[in-house]
Amino acid sequence: MSQKVWFITGASTGFGRAVTEHALQQGDNVVATLRKPDVLSDLLSKYSSRLLVLSLDVRELEQIHAAFENALERFGRVDIVFNNAGFCIISEAEGMREERGRELFEVLFWGAANVSREAVMIFRERNHPPGGRSDAAGIAHYAAAYLLSNPLSFRQTHVWSTAVDPIHPAYADPSLPSRKIRNLYPGELAVRVHDGDPKKFARAMYQLAYMEDPPLYIPLHRVAIEAARTKGEELIQTAEEYASWSDDVYYRVSQN
């Protein structure tokens, strides 16, 4: 496998940090972006020749463009973009203040969209291949923002060697403040839902990045798999139940 260049957003903690570390350990080059670059000083001292750490707020278009330009200047190309920047606000849907809800969409939807758009332009110019499912009580706006980002994902195989894959994970990183959400779940459910290991997730992401024909969607963790199965079954059931509604919804072709 040839050495790849990763562009990772939200590299400070959790998935972003884990994927950054794993890619570096495997010998790849990484452009790690985050709002506070000092957080990765330990990795920079260890992998200075293969790691570029950049300050990036994904809500700022100019910063996104500049980050990719810096990546190209340093490594000459970008092969994989891990669109990971995000945050979550715990709230009932009706209790979320509009300005806070908009902040979520600015990062989770528009941030991901703008990073992906910049990445695709680079992939097209160089023709290098790059590499929710369900909502839950208390995180309606978070789930909605991620659900809206899924239509942005696509596969272009005929003209451009480009793939954009949404990943649907479930996990808990002890270093994240969001780990405290476990307190909202009773006993065994908290362990069952929040027992994922970001480092093992990173290994899976690395494997996915090197696949010649990766799946368009991939759920990781039993909870994500169950949610995908449930959603799929519900969609099939609804399609079958209301299939007859589509019998007469078309233009009638004149026989004259």
Q: Can you tell me the distance from the alpha carbon of 252 to that of 57, in angstroms, rounded to the nearest whole number?
A: 52
> In the predicted model, is pLDDT for residue 9 greater than 70?
yes
Alpha carbon distance 85, 107 (integer Å): 7
Between residues 19 and 217, the one the model is more confident about = 19
**Is residue 169 predicted with pLDDT exceeding 60?**
no
Question: Which pLDDT score is estimated for 127?
Answer: 45
Polymer length of the chain: 256
Model confidence at 159: pLDDT above 70: no
Residue 136 corresponds to which tokens in the numbers above? 């839950």
pLDDT band with cut points at 50, 70 and 90 for residue 130: very low
Band (pLDDT 50/70/90 cuts) for residue 208 is confident
pLDDT band, very low/low/confident/very high, at 227 (cuts 50, 70, 90)? confident
Confidence of residue 162 (pLDDT cuts 50, 70, 90): very low
- How confident is the model over 79-122, as pLDDT tens digits? 888 888 776 666 666 667 777 778 778 887 888 888 888 888 88
**What is d(CA 109, CA 59) in angstroms, rounded to the nearest whole number?**
10
Q: Is 55 helix (H, G, I), strand (E, B) or coil?
A: strand
Task: Give the pLDDT score at 197.
Answer: 81
Q: Please report the pLDDT score of residue 134 as a whole number.
A: 38
Cα–Cα distance for residue pair 10/67, rounded to 1 Å: 13
Q: What CA–CA distances, in Å, run from 99 to 102, 103, 108, 184, 256?
A: 5, 6, 14, 25, 58
Q: Does pTM surpass 0.85?
A: no
Cβ count within 10 A of residue 137:
10
Q: Which CATH number fits domain 5-246: 1.10.274.30, 3.40.50.12240, 3.40.50.720, 3.30.1490.20?
A: 3.40.50.720
pLDDT band at 156 (very low <50, low <70, confident <90, very high): very low
Q: Between 188 and 76, whose confidence is greater? A: 76
pLDDT band at 194 (very low <50, low <70, confident <90, very high): low
Q: Is the pLDDT score of 45 beyond 60? A: yes
